[in-house]
Amino acid sequence: MFQRVSFAALIGCALALSAPAARAEQFINVLTGGTSGVYYPLGVALSDIYAKGIEGARTQVQATKASVENLNLLQQGRGELGFALGDSVMAAVTGNAEAGFKAPLDKLRVLAAIYPNHVQIAALSEAGITTITDLKGKTLSVGAPKSGTELNARAILGAAGMSYDDLGKVEYLPFAESVELMKNRQLEATLQSSGLGNAAIKDLASSQAITMVAIPADVVASIGQPYVASVIPAGTYQGQEADVPTASVINYLVTSADVPEETVYQMTKLLFEHLDTLKAAHAAAGAISLEEAAKPGPAPLHPGAERYYREQGLL
């Protein structure tokens, strides 16, 4: 009898000791984008930072179709952190069905505003396209359907008084595939929303004479937030001799209201303690700054992120 009781007691003690560890474990699925984009390498770096820096954390990186898919997955509880463009977050919060959100996503919370995506339209020089209205009657690739890039394309064309109906033909292709068609003279222009120095456009400029197409500041101003007027600096791409006006949209790290406050606090803190690691993963991270991170965005700040920014004197 004594042996049986002792054995039962030992089992009970083992279960009691193991229970807190099980409760403390936090799974963090980082939702990114395509593996050739900017979101993915930054997501891999963050996943590694969180795995090492948050006690009990198990992390995973998921390649996705980026902004719209990431936001829907966060709402469904299928991710703890996701990258997304600001206009996609705004569309998600308001429930814009045309943008890919059947109803308002009420669980989205901002962790940080990070770096800007620049809307970059590259055209074959022979096509004679220098400003956005010159795209009328031309062939244009706008990115995957309902991707963050494609939402940018709709907004920019709309602000210029145009729609897809004004184009000669619309292609819904990833960056690299768009460039291949342009090299073969099967496409005249591509709209790509990304950080400056886009690898696909660099590749195109190395073999074809291209023109970076201007998006005038007044067109950008007519859209309003989260779009702001910006420039593609001269020399960003081979043969580009002058600054080109364009639009930019801030990217956000977004989480869910269901993720615990302490977890999001640690995620936010570690993000800014390891900016050098993120910059090593991709140069776009060089534009991430603590001062800009907490500025009002298209969704509320998560309480965990808010706590960190208050500690830093930003709120």
CATH class of 26-115+251-311: alpha beta
The arithmetic mean of pLDDT across residues 231-247, rounded, is 97
Q: Where are the domains of the chain?
A: 26-115+251-311, 117-249
Range picked from 190-199, 224-233, 250-259, 279-288 for highest mean pLDDT: 250-259
- Local confidence band at 24 (pLDDT 50, 70, 90 cut-offs): low
Q: How far apart are CA 22 and CA 308, in angstroms?
A: 26
Whether the predicted pLDDT of 184 surpasses 50? yes
Is 167:135 a contact under the CB 8 Å cutoff?
Answer: yes
Mean pLDDT value across the chain: 91
Return the CATH architecture of domain 117-249.
Answer: 3-Layer(aba) Sandwich (3.40)
Q: Give the residue with greater pLDDT, 35 vs 206.
A: 206
Q: Which ranges in the chain belong to alpha helices (H)?
A: 2-24, 39-53, 67-75, 86-94, 148-159, 175-183, 199-205, 217-223, 261-273, 275-281, 290-293, 303-311
Whether the predicted pLDDT of 22 surpasses 70? no
Whether the predicted pLDDT of 20 surpasses 60? no
| Token pair 């960190």 in the structure block, residue | 308
* pLDDT tens track for 264-291: 999 999 999 999 999 999 888 999 999 9
What is the predicted pLDDT for the residue at 21?
Answer: 39
Whether the predicted pLDDT of 10 surpasses 70? no
Q: Give the residue with greater pLDDT, 10 vs 215.
A: 215
With b for 16 or more beta-carbon neighbours within 10 A and e for fewer, the 241-255 pattern comes to eeebbbbbbbbbbbb
In this predicted structure, which of 15-24, 86-95, 200-209, 305-314 has the lowest mean pLDDT? 15-24
For the chain, how are helix, strand and coil distributed in percent, rounded to 5?
45, 25, 30
* pLDDT tens track for 36-60: 778 999 999 999 999 999 999 999 9
What is the predicted pLDDT for the residue at 175?
Answer: 87
Whether the predicted pLDDT of 19 surpasses 50? no
What is the predicted pLDDT for the residue at 15?
Answer: 41
- What percent of the chain shows pLDDT beyond 70? 92
Q: Give the residue with greater pLDDT, 199 vs 15.
A: 199
Q: How far apart are CA 214 and CA 244, in angstroms?
A: 6
Q: Give the residue with greater pLDDT, 1 vs 208.
A: 208
What is the predicted pLDDT for the residue at 5?
Answer: 45
Please give the C-alpha separations between residue 217 and each of 157, 160, 213, 221, 250, in angstroms, as whole numbers. 13, 11, 13, 6, 17
Please, what is the angle between helix 86-94 and helix 148-159, to 10°?
90
Whether the predicted pLDDT of 2 surpasses 50? no
Is 229:222 a contact under the CB 8 Å cutoff?
Answer: no
Tokens describing residue 281: 């993963």
Whether the predicted pLDDT of 86 surpasses 80? yes
